Chains A and B, each alone.
Chain A
Amino acid sequence: MNGICQIESIGVKMPEKRLTTAELLDKIRIPCIRRFGLLTGISEKKVCSFDEDSFTLALGAVTDCLLYSRYRADELDMIINCSITKYKNGLSHLYEPSFSTLIKKAIGAEKARTFDISNACAGMLTGVYLAEKFIRQGIIRNCMVVSGEYISSISDNALKNIKTSLSPELSSLTLGDCGAAAIIERTSDSDNGMIITGFTTLSKYSNLCTGRQKRDAPGGIMETRAKKIHEAAIYESVPIVKEALERNCLSLKDITWLIPHQTSRSSIISGANHYLKCFGETPGHIAITLKETGNTASTSHFLALYRYLNEKRFTEGDYVMLLCFASGLIIGVVIFRMNKIVYRYGR
Chain B
Amino acid sequence: MNRFSRLLTALALVACTLAGCRKEVAVRSAVSRLSGLSEFGTVEYTVKKVVSANDSSVFKIGDRKIYFTCIANVKAGIDLSGFSAENVKADRSAGTAVVTLPHARILSVELPPDKIEEKYCSVTGFRWNFTPEEKRALLKQGEEDIIAKVEQNGILEDAERNSSDLVRKMFTGLGYEKVTVKFE
**A and B held together in a complex:** no
- Report A's interface with B, CB cutoff 8 A: none
